[in-house]
Amino acid sequence: MKNHKFKILGLVAVVIFSLTSCEEDTFDMNRGEGVVPSITNLDPAVFSEAVGTYIAFDLDAKDYTGDLVVLASVDGDKSRTPVKTISSVPANVVVTLEEVAQAKGMSVNDFEVGSIFNFEVQTTVGGKTYRSPASFNAPLACEYLPENVSGTYIASSAGWGVNGPITIEADPDDMFKLYVTGLVTIDGMVEDQGPLVMTVNPGNFHVTAPRTVLGTFFYGFDNVAYQGSGVLDTCTGVYTMTFTITVDQGSFGSYAFTFTPN
């Protein structure tokens, strides 16, 4: 693909319920009119630069027996280009970036990292064509590469009052599992347990970190532990996280952290 013009977080594709302007022979559904399809289980929810990248979701429409047409627009252009027709539901729908490009008479190389693809579903009831208010956005993110999201990092948290070097290492057998060391060390204590395990969801680049004890002793307290979640920007390698920090005696609360490649 082209050189990156934008840097984005690996965003979750969020289902958005909205009404749009009318077009000739096509109507936006009003309450009690037509049929409203349901879009669920977005996984994966983002495109990436990887060859063959795709999004997938479950599509259903109660008591509807006609065709459902998946429409795509890019960066708010409201072009609503048909990219796929679904003849029966429920169905698991897979839409590749290549399919979107072909439908629009383009190449996948014409899309820039940071582009947002909006998908809607069109139905036909009583001879009238309707666009459903159920829709979702899928961003185009950079490809997930372990070497771009691991190595020596700087962990900073204004709220917790730390700023220093940590190490993030990718599991050799599971590139979406990452091991973090140094969070207690930059706090001035000995990190004799851990490491903290972070797991990246390949469908949306969200990050989860189950509670892990990282240090036995922590300024008069016992067994300091981190637990958190956040999101990974696959373009820059930056992690934007929130961690709850606890000890056996209680909790210090939750704090925002940023992990930035050094």
In a domain, 7, yes or no: no
- The whole domain housing 97 covers 15-139
pLDDT in tens, 33-74: 567 899 999 999 999 998 999 999 999 998 888 999 999 999
Residues 25 and 107 in one domain: yes
Give dist(CA 68, CA 86) in Å, integer: 5
CATH number at residue 36: 2.60.40.10
Q: Tokens 């879009």 belong to which residue? A: 39
| The model's pTM | 0.80
Q: Out of 82, 110, 139, pick the residue that ends a domain.
A: 139
Residues 133 and 185 in one domain: no
Burial 53-90 (b: 16+ CB within 10 A, else e): bbbebebebeebeeebbbbbbbeeeeebeebbebeebe
Residues 162 and 131 in one domain: no
Q: Out of 104, 139, 174, pick the residue that ends a domain.
A: 139
Is the model's pLDDT at 109 over the cut of 80? yes
Q: Out of 89, 122, 139, pick the residue that ends a domain.
A: 139
In a domain, 54, yes or no: yes
Segment 219-237 mean pLDDT:
97
Residues 33 and 110 in one domain: yes
